[in-house]
Amino acid sequence: MTAPSDALALWLRHVVVLPAEPVGLAEAFGRVCAHDVRSLRDSPPAAVAAMDGIAARAADSAGLRLPAGTYDVVDTGDLLPPGRDAVVVREQVSYDDGTAVLAHAVVAGRHVRPRGEDVAVADLLLPAGRVLRPVDVALAAAGGHTELPVRRRPRVVVVPTGDEVRSPGTHTGPGEVLDTNTLMLLGLCTGAGATATSVAVVPDDLSQLVEAVRYACIDADMVIVGAGSSAGRDDHTAEVLAGLGEVLVHGVAVRPGHPVVLAVVDGTAVLGSPGYPVSAALAFDLFAGPLLAALLGTAAPARPRATARLAVDLHSPAGVEDWVRVRVDSTGVTPLPGGAGGLAGLAGADGLLRVPAATTSLTAGTLVEIALLHGT
């Protein structure tokens, strides 16, 4: 089996970053900036008052009295009148028959925002590859932009397979299961910035799977074939992908999820995802998420991390990168029971503990790093 990092590197070699498209500012939130964006204007465009009060010449304030005509009443954001270089805040001014009486003198530039204080023409506002936050979009607006260049969203098609698989909401008989994986994968794709759709469940029939995958690859940037990636009698994914394109990897040294298939069909990346939910979720994290990020020209998002001590001894198989679902509380880090087929265990986990392939055991009290799952 191939090491996960090597498998991902092989797959990413075939990535071509998606083209840019312009979108209005209101549609730019969460999109990936395609090119460096520089300011088209100064902000503010001229010197303005930073506080409510009076604008005056700082040199005139030494005597603490400003006769009428030597000051102007201003509000925050007003242009600074000609000949004025400072603002005295309203709370520090009283009036005596038109004369402004100051609580103290001011220096030039006091409570004044100079031209270009926030951004100046040609300043770099947004670097290429940034996932645009609300504050980024607002900054672009301050710099004079009305639209932004962003990467086209990756298009993903999920192809669920299996004679025993039924769509949610339908009746299941003995030996039949609901297709929960497709829902999970669609949500993970959307969260990674893609647009994702699925096709109807494809039976374990070689010719039908060939047609479904071929059709899905026509317009998709990535296709995820659900289940069928192992070595059972009805597991056709690797065979289908080898016939349609090139299988780069079949089998990854990771637990859970070792039967992963990574392939390319007519330029479209195809992930043969394991059928067990925990394995499918991990395969997405390790392979699909980074590939979608590469298509968008940005770095794959990293989960937040936390360190804590193991509450119990932990044993792991040799030669396999082991991702263990854990609970984190006041007692420390505790591995959760349950196999790769349990959705409840995945949903109830606080995080994932990665045990390197060369490590076979960790003793209670060992300080470990956890990739947190909350908020995902």
CB 225 within 8 A of CB 199: no
The share of the chain scoring above pLDDT 70, in percent, equals 97
Q: How far apart are alpha carbons 238 and 358 in whole angstroms?
A: 28
pLDDT of residue 367 exceeding 60, the answer is yes
Q: How far apart are alpha carbons 353 and 309 in whole angstroms?
A: 11
Q: Are strands 155-160 and 195-198 parallel, antiparallel or unpaired?
A: parallel
Tokens of 165: 């698989």
Q: Are strands 321-329 and 351-355 parallel, antiparallel or unpaired?
A: antiparallel
Tell me the per-residue pLDDT of 84-130, one tens digit each, with 9 for 90 and over: 999 999 999 999 999 999 999 999 999 999 999 999 999 999 999 99
Task: Count CB atoms within 10 A of the CB of residue 63.
Answer: 9
Name the 3-class secondary structure at 73.
strand
Residue ranges of alpha helices (H) inside 47-173 are: 134-142
Q: How far apart are alpha carbons 206 and 200 in whole angstroms?
A: 16
Give the helix/strand (H/E) hosting 279: helix 277-283
Tokens of 92: 């520090």
N- to C-terminal Cα separation, the chain: 29
Q: What are phi and psi of 365, to 5 degrees?
A: 95, -15
Of 10 and 340, the structure prediction assigns the larger pLDDT to 10
Give the chain's mean pLDDT: 94
Dihedral (C-alpha) 318, 322, 327, 329: value to the nearest 10 degrees?
70
Q: State the amino acid at position 342 in one-letter form.
A: G
CA distances from 217 to 83, 104, 157, 267 (A): 68, 73, 8, 9
> So what's the pLDDT on residue 176?
87
pLDDT of residue 375 exceeding 60, the answer is no
CB 332 within 8 A of CB 311: yes
pLDDT of residue 43 exceeding 80, the answer is yes
What fold, for 305-372? Beta-clip (2.40.340)
User: Do 305-372 and 20-43+117-151 fall under one CATH topology?
Assistant: no
Q: How far apart are alpha carbons 349 and 272 in whole angstroms?
A: 25
CATH architecture of 4-17+153-295: 3-Layer(aba) Sandwich (3.40)
**Mean pLDDT, range 301-321, rounded to an integer:** 93
DSSP structure class, residue 233? T
Query: By CB neighbour count within 10 A (0-12 exposed, 13-18 middle, 19+ buried), where does 37 fall?
Result: buried
Q: How far apart are alpha carbons 370 and 67 in whole angstroms?
A: 68
Residues, the chain: 376
> Which CATH class name applies to 20-43+117-151?
alpha beta
Give the helix/strand (H/E) hosting 65: strand 65-66
| CATH superfamily, domain at 48-113 | Molybdopterin biosynthesis moea protein, domain 3. (2.170.190.11)
Tell me the per-residue pLDDT of 155-186, one tens digit each, with 9 for 90 and over: 999 999 998 999 888 888 898 889 999 999 99
Q: How far apart are alpha carbons 135 and 115 in whole angstroms?
A: 21
Tell me the per-residue pLDDT of 7-40, one tens digit each, with 9 for 90 and over: 999 999 999 999 999 999 999 999 999 999 999 9
pTM of the model as a whole: 0.89
Alpha carbon of residue 1 to chain centroid: 29
CB 126 within 8 A of CB 33: yes
Residue labelled with tokens 């998606």:
18
Domain boundaries, the chain: 4-17+153-295, 20-43+117-151, 48-113, 305-372
Name the 3-class secondary structure at 338.
coil
Among residues 295, 250, 215, which one has the least CA distance to residue 14? Answer: 295
Tell me the per-residue pLDDT of 224-281, one tens digit each, with 9 for 90 and over: 999 766 666 667 899 999 999 999 999 999 999 899 999 999 999 999 999 899 999 9
Q: How far apart are alpha carbons 291 and 18 in whole angstroms?
A: 12
Q: How far apart are alpha carbons 244 and 98 in whole angstroms?
A: 87
> So what's the pLDDT on residue 232?
61
